[in-house]
Chains A and B, each alone.
Chain A
Amino acid sequence: MSLPTTCLPGQPLPVSPGTIPGPGTYISNSEITSTLTGLPSYNATTKTISVSPATTLPSPLPTISSTVLARVTRINPRQATVAILSGSDTFQGVIRQQDIRATEKDKVKVFESFRPGDVVRAKVISLGDLQNYYLTTAGNSLGVVMAVSEEGEEMVPVSWREMRGMKTGKVELRKVAKPI
């Protein structure tokens, strides 16, 4: 089995039996076929053939279980609406009250977790409805990564639920992501 150096959409890829089609490929007439202009590669351990594209899309789409960065645009007692940052486009998403943290979900208050303008690291749980992707921040590594206080001062995390102003030392409540 020798792979071509490059491939184009619609080009069948020579594979040995039992190979799994990976990203950038699909099965057409029981043949694994490329869907992208790019470089085919074969992973022997997973037995997967995939095509890496020559050009990446300017704004990749959020997919389920992908981790995204989003800016909080507005909040209400039930949910926080966010704009998922992806290249040149922004996709709208919501973080519902019950998805903010994993424990004591009923006691979560949205305004004690996020404020408009915060940048949040979140995970996509559903492609959602017409308008929104559904996101969650349940998890230690997920939550607010950047925030400014009511006075417009940058804040640093001090605990999983508190952030403190860098000069004034004023403490505000947030669902904070564990710094990496």
Chain B
Amino acid sequence: MALTDRRRVNGPALPTSIPFYDTPAPAPTVSRSPTELRKIFLKTSLTPPASGSAFYELTPPSTLKLTTSVYGPRPLPPSAGFSPTARVTAELKFAPFSTRGERRGYVRDGLERELSLQLQIAISGMVRASAYPKSGIDVFVTVLDCEGRIEEMIGVDAAEGEGERASLGAMQVLTGAITCASTAIADAGIECVDLVAAGMAALVEAKDGKDMVVMDPSPLDGWQVRAAVLVGYMAARDEITLVWSRGEVGVEEFTGVMESAVEVATKVRGVVNDAVRERLVALLKARGKKEGKKAITEDVEMTG
């Protein structure tokens, strides 16, 4: 205290925050019908050095934005060991600015590790790995913007209902990541047995107290979510590559929710198809093939 300058007005010893008067956020309202899907913007080949890449965005008010780049097939590092088929690895990373409020650290955390693993399971089934011996295909997904809250994925300490809704944020990121990654792999020209598209559906408590199934639920919608199911689905082969469910749900109800999720994935597949075909159209144009122009329209209207 002796060293304190008492002749002048000193600033505060610790930093203080500016008083900031914020109006409380309006309560979330449900604006979509339970069977209406949000529109998806999906574009390929935006990262030049990558073999293939894609950008995924949901139309406002949803804010989810992702980019994916695919590298490979390239030689495996000696530490990886011998593999007679291609080894598909996936890494999902949240950008530091991707979450609302608090910035995320650069260090890989548990959630990123979990989502990376799920993503890898979902997409490795679609690549024709036997065509690429001794090589690695690396998929990198960067989440640029999230929707809703991500942190309380499990919802341990959250209020009733709130916890499951919070987990929707993480599930939605994975839904987007699977769709985006599958588009980027197809864009790279890697042989695939089929394309994976992801879809999500939730069992929610309606106003009358009954349960109902909502397709493509958003954490911003404000549903009282009881359970949510995410599927990675290959529509042409009618094959599910990944199922991820959260919340409590009975067996019969689960089947219903999953079927809805598959229906969402089938519709999303249409968007993936259009996005992948876009580059083909450009190629045909470059070649000046007239029959190509006849077969495909130049602009593709992407609907979810």
Contacts and interface: CB of A to CB of B under 8 A. Distances in A.
A54 B283 contact: yes
Interface centre among A12, A61, A127 (most CB of B within 10 A): A61
A11 B192 CA distance: 11
A57 B192 contact: no
16 contacts: A4-B295, A5-B291, A6-B280, A10-B234, A11-B236, A26-B191, A37-B189, A54-B189, A54-B279, A55-B45, A55-B187, A58-B51, A61-B134, A90-B75, A130-B76, A130-B134
Interface stretch (A28-36, A71-79, A135-143, A145-153): A28-36
A159 interface: no
Interface of B: 45, 51-52, 73-76, 78, 81-82, 126, 128, 131-135, 186-195, 234-237, 273, 276-277, 279-280, 283-284, 291-292, 294-296
A92 B76 CA distance: 11
Contacts, number: 102
Given A57-B188, A61-B73, A9 B279 contact: no
Interface string A22-57: 001010100001011111000000000000011111
Contacts of B279: 37, 54-55
A57 B86 CA distance: 14
Interface centre among B126, B277, B280 (most CB of A within 10 A): B280
Contacts of A6: 277, 280, 284, 292, 295-296
A61 B295 contact: no
A53 B78 contact: no
A130 B79 CA distance: 10
B88 to A, nearest CB: 15
A55 B52 contact: yes
Contacts of A131: 78
A155 to B, nearest CB: 30
A61 B280 CA distance: 23
B81 A130 contact: yes
A57 B74 CA distance: 10
The 6 closest A-B pairs by CB, nearest first: A10-B194, A10-B236, A9-B192, A5-B295, A35-B191, A130-B82
